[in-house]
Amino acid sequence: MSGAHDRKAAGSTKTRDQTERLVARNRRATFEYDLEDKWEAGVVLVGSEVKSLRAGKLEMVDAWATVEGDEMWLHDLRIAPYEQATMFAPEPKRKRKLLLRRSEIEKIKGKLKDRGYTLIPLRVYFKGRNVKIEIALARGKTKGDKRQDIARKDAERAARSAMGRARKGGLGAGPERGR
């Protein structure tokens, strides 16, 4: 008797449950916002939304979260309807409840009182069989901040390129090198 039964008896299910599988990442978040604190939250889903997530049918560009009373809600996260679902298709951009500890929600609520802060999702992933979302407390960047980030990234890219050329054979690593 080998296979799944032996692995379960050996106690390896705990490591299997902790594996993460990324569904989507909000790549614009780091460009548009300065990120401060991050939290992991569960998401309340209904019907075939989990199957849609497993298929990668998710848009999170305009998504944001709020604290209403003692609960946290995620807005504008679009989960496309599952194509094979027959009866019940939930609204794609409906408001979804996030699951956090009360102490974490209170901490977030206190930080959101400062002007200019918002909560944005960074990534959605499966942790074991549960859907998790990483949210961050963020402050919007100005155009000047974005320009500085672009200039810094360009300088880093140029430096990496120069280092690569230097390692491959000196300064003359351009197009005329082979002539």
144 is written with which tokens?
């000047």
Does the pLDDT of residue 72 top 90, yes or no?
yes
How far, CA to CA in Å, does 103 sit from each of 69, 76, 100, 109, 179?
A: 13, 25, 8, 10, 67
What type of residue sits at position 118? T
What's the fold here for domain 20-141? Small Protein B; Chain: A; (2.40.280)
Q: 3-state DSSP call for residue 70?
A: coil
More confident site: 31 or 108:
108
Phi, psi for 18 (deg, rounded to 5): -90, 0
Euclidean distance between CA atoms 162 and 179, whole angstroms: 21
Q: What is the pTM of this model?
A: 0.70
Mean pLDDT, range 31-47, rounded to an integer = 90
Using alpha carbons, select from 92, 129, 125 the residue that is nearest to residue 23.
125
What type of residue sits at position 76? D
pLDDT at 131: 92
pLDDT at 89: 75
Q: 3-state DSSP call for residue 14?
A: helix
Mean pLDDT, range 3-25, rounded to an integer = 61
pLDDT at 7: 43
Average pLDDT of the chain to the nearest whole number = 82
